[in-house]
Structure 1
C-alpha cells in the first residue's frame, strides 16, 4: 500500500503556509530595505557631499564612524532575525505536522 504524498503546490495553498510567507515578507522586506538604504548611504554621501569628511573625534572622520556602525547594524539585524526566526520555525513545524497528518489520512 503506497501513501499519497502532497505536492509542493498543495502545501503552498494551505492556510498555514500562506501565513508563514506573509509573516516572513512583513519582516524581511522592511529589514532588507533598511539594510540597503543604510549600506548605500555611506558611498553616496562620501561621493556627493562633504558631510562625512569632517572630523568626529580627533583625526577620525564621520565616514569612519558611519562605516563602523555598519558592522554593528549587521550584527543587530542578524540577532533580530535569529530571534524572529523562532516564530518562523514554529510555523514550519506546524506545517510539517499538518502535511504528515494529511498524508496519513490519504494513505
Structure 2
C-alpha cells in the first residue's frame, strides 16, 4: 500500500515539475510560445494559465487517490478485526 502511495506521489510530482519548468525553458530557448492567439494574448499566457489549472487537477487526483487508499485501509482494518474475534 505504501509503495502504491509512493509511486503515485513521485509520478505526480515528476509530471508537475516537468510541466512547471517547461514554461521558462520553452520561453527562454524557443520562439513558438510567442505566437499571438488573440490580440496581445500569446501562448505564454495560456501556458501559464494552464499551470494553475494543472495544479488543481493534480490536487484533485491526489484527493481521489487518497480517498481510495483510505477505503483500502479501512477494509484491511475491518478484516483484521474480524479475524482477531
Q: Which bracket does the TM-score occupy, shorter chain normalised?
A: 0.7 to 0.9
**Higher-RCO chain (CA-CA 8 Å, sequence separation at least 6):** 1
Structure with bigger helix share is 2
| Residue 78 (1) aligns with residue 40 (2) | no
The number of residue pairs the alignment matches comes to 82
Aligned residue for 2:37, secondary structure, equals strand
Alignment partners' CA distance in 2, 1:96 and 1:42: 47
Could you list the runs of 5+ residues in structure 2 that have no partner in the other structure?
none
Distance 2:78 2:11 in 1: 27
What is the root-mean-square deviation of aligned Cα atoms in Å? 2.2
Large movers: runs of 4+ above 4 Å: 95-98
Q: CA-to-partner distance for each residue in 1:73-104, whole Å, 9 max, x for gaps?
A: 01111111111111222344435985xx6xx9
Structure 2 matches for 1:1-107, cutoff 5 A?
20-93=1-74, 94=76, 98=80
